[in-house]
Amino acid sequence: MKNSIWLFLLALAACSAPKSQESVKQEVMTIGSVERLDSALNALIPVGAKIEVLASGFEWAEGPLWLEEQQALIFTDVPTNKIWKWTEKDSLSLYLSPSGYLGDRTDKREPGANGLALDEEGKLILCQHGERQIGKMLASLDAPKPDFQSLVSEYEGKRFNSPNDLVFHSKGQLFFTDPPYGMDPWDEKELDFQGVFRLDTDGKLNLLIDSLSRPNGIALSPDQSNLYIAQSDPEKARYYAFDLDDIGNVISGKVLFDATSLQSESRKGLPDGLKVHSSGTLFATGPGGVLVISPDGKHLGTILTENGTANCTFDSDEKYLYMTADAFLMRIALK
């Protein structure tokens, strides 16, 4: 019902006739608010910035990725096995289907792609739930087709759970997480842990961490010396920071911020996707929306989306933060 209401209101706003023949800027629907806990947040998010609703009607929007050449944002709808594209000019359009499961079962819960990234050649790399692999789309970004190459699908002969999120190092190494969220009850679980992995450019797969419960979102610090992991465990809703050596191995780790106590009926969501601003500040989805956390673990504030929020990303100039929150695509202006 809530999706139908939002779709109706969005359509109504889009179809409203201008009051004159002059060009009139279309009014944008807004939602939520920004909770400011530290004045340092004002240097990142302007005072008075509004959360804009760009599109709605999805089952669970995820994996936002900015495509600079196309001036477009693509994002996944995991349960429907689709990727959508949004642009300022053309609004919303279907980008790719299927995205994460290529079989013929129709009763899978979350078969689609989740996290998305671009490799050094500009190819789309996908965490594919249904295929339980990291896949590469062979077609170009301008003419997408569901034709994929599997980059990696197992560890020591055992299939992954369901790769969830990923990030590239400038050396071409791919770091990714493997919780079981994309698995169905009938899927055979072959690994007895939920890992954080690194895939090297020579194809070698390295297990970095096997001790986390529900490793989810993943990101690197601007200098790539720290690996951040969001843990979507309601009992230990945390963001971790791991020090990396020059090879990309984990040296040590710590809890950067514990959000367990922030969970409430009015603040839905767990640590999920996260991105790191060029300042080193983390924009991390979690209870209430998107938590803004300094590199030393101080909670500066929260972008309150009023919905469970899955992931976020910046455009190339960090002009906006785009957010996928339940059935919605949203954004907020940054400084």
Q: Does the annotation list 216 as a binding residue?
A: yes
User: Nearest Cα to 273, choosing from 297, 304, 239, 234?
Assistant: 239
210 marked as binding residue: no
SS3 for 13? helix
User: Which residue type does 293 have?
Assistant: I
81 is in an annotated binding site: no
Contacts of residue 12, Cβ cutoff 8 Å, sequence gap at least 6: none
What are all long-range contacts of 251-255, with beta carbons under 8 Å and residues at least 24 apart? 253/209
Query: What is the Cα–Cα distance from 265 to 114, expressed in whole angstroms?
Result: 26
Contact 139, 90 (CB under 8 A): no
Structure tokens at 197: 């992995």
Catalytic residue among 77, 178, 233, 272: 272
Annotated active-site residue 272? The verdict is: yes
Residue 164 annotated as binding?
yes
Q: What is the CA radius of gyration of the chain?
A: 19
DSSP code string of 290-303: EEEE-TTS-EEEEE
- Classified as helix, coil or strand, 196 is strand
Tokens of 130: 């249904």
Identity at 169, one-letter amino acid code:
H
Of the candidates 214, 174, 176, the residue with the CA atom closest to the CA atom of residue 193: 214
Q: Which residues are annotated as a binding site for substrate?
A: 164
Q: Which residues are annotated as a binding site for a divalent metal cation?
A: 62, 216, 272
Q: Which residues are annotated as a binding site?
A: 62, 164, 216, 272
Residues acting as catalytic residues:
272
